[in-house]
Amino acid sequence: MKTNRPTFKSFRDKALKNPDVKAEYDAMAPLFNIKKQLVAARLAKGVTQEQIALKIGTSKSNISRLESLNNTHMPNLGTLMKYAEALGLRLDIRVR
């Protein structure tokens, strides 16, 4: 039986018509972007969350929280640098 539940896209599009929601969404964009980049880089290198946790001296659950889009905590610069270095990459931060 098919339900008439809205898709995420239709829900998001409707929510973003609210100026307050749109402002908060836009403010969170840089955080979501870095988290997506972390996951993409880790997957491209074929590294698991557990493997990267071991390399930087933390737990898998901390890596999971770091990568989660549901967690809006801003990671510190040192953590981001360690994460990138553990993948053989470097962190590149720009102000535009």
Go through the domains of the chain in sequence order and give each one's CATH number. 8-86 (1.10.260)
Q: What is the pTM of this model?
A: 0.78
Each residue of 29-72: pLDDT tens digit? Answer: 989 999 999 999 999 999 999 999 999 999 999 999 999 988 88
Describe the crossing of helices 19-44 and 60-67 by its angle, rounded to 10 degrees.
130
Spatial neighbors of 34 by CB under 8 A, at least 6 apart, are 75, 80
| In contact, 39 and 67? CB cutoff 8 Å | yes
Residues 63 and 56: their CA atoms lie apart, in Å, by 10
Question: How far is it, in rounded angstroms, from Cα 96 to Cα 76?
Answer: 20
